[in-house]
């Protein structure tokens, strides 16, 4: 079995919602990003790549590449899962933490968890989603952006 960790940040910018785990959550801001800026999926992809020893998201999906402009981050996840499958690896479980002063995701948590579980073809019990503010400290606390942490376990089939 192998463990991996991931971290991602996006700054808020103009817009009226953010993508989180493939779910569009209404907000007074959007995020600045080359892709759809889904911090949960980006942290998850980095954790999976890390567990597999395959580098990071920027190497596989460069933000200078026009094909990823405005991309649905689910495409990053699908491609990453194919890379893992090619190594004979499967995902055991994932644990995600969203760091955000806003938006609050309590209403959306079950939907986001279900969305991520479906993308991973895992039962929801294998996908945990936590959320925390930073007690108004730092860039997250000032609601200048959002961040996510991911930890994953993978194993040979």
DSSP E strands: which ranges in 27-144?
Answer: 30-31, 89-99, 127-132
DSSP code at position 85: H
For Mg ion, the nearest residue by Cβ is 42
**Closer residue to Mg ion in complex, CB, 75/90:** 75
- Number of Cβ atoms within 10 Å of the Cβ of 28: 11
Q: By CB under 5 A, name the one of 20, 21, 31, 42 that touches Mg ion.
A: 42
1-9, 14-22, 79-87, 115-123 -> range binding Mg ion (CB under 5 A): 1-9
- Closer to Mg ion by CB, 55 or 124: give it: 55
Task: Single out the residue of 4, 6, 8, 152 in contact with Mg ion (rule: CB under 5 A).
Answer: 8
Element at 68 (helix H, strand E): none
Span interacting with Mg ion, options 40-48, 115-123, 127-135, 149-157, rule CB under 5 A: 40-48
- Asked if residue 119 binds Mg ion (CB under 5 A), the reply is no
Cβ 100 to Mg ion shortest distance, Å:
14
Say how many C-beta atoms besides its own lie within 10 A of residue 151's C-beta: 19
Residue number with CB closer to Mg ion (8 or 101): 8
Q: Which residues does 117 contact at the CB level (< 8 Å), separation at least 6?
A: 123, 124, 126, 127
Contact call for residues 124 and 95 (beta carbons, < 8 A)? no
29 binds Mg ion (CB under 5 A): no
Collapsed DSSP state (helix, strand, coil) of residue 118: helix
Catalog residues that contact Mg ion under the rule CB under 5 A: 8, 42
């Amino acid at each position: 079995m192998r463990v991996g960790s991931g971290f991602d940040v996006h700054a808020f910018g103009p817009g009226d919602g953010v993508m989180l785990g493939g779910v569009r959550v209404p907000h007074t801001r959007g995020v600045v990003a080359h892709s759809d800026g889904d911090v949960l999926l980006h942290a998850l992809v980095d954790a999976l790549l890390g567990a597999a020893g395959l580098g990071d998201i920027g190497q596989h999906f460069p933000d200078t590449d026009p094909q990823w402009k405005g991309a649905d981050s689910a495409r990053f996840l699908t491609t990453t899962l194919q890379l893992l499958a090619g190594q004979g690896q499967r995902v055991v479980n994932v644990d995600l933490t969203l760091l955000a002063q806003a938006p609050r995701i309590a209403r959306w948590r079950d939907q986001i968890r279900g969305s991520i579980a479906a993308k991973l073809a895992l039962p929801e019990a294998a996908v945990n989603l936590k959320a925390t503010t930073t007690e108004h400290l730092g860039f997250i606390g000032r609601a200048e952006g959002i961040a996510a942490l991911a930890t994953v376990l993978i194993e040979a089939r």
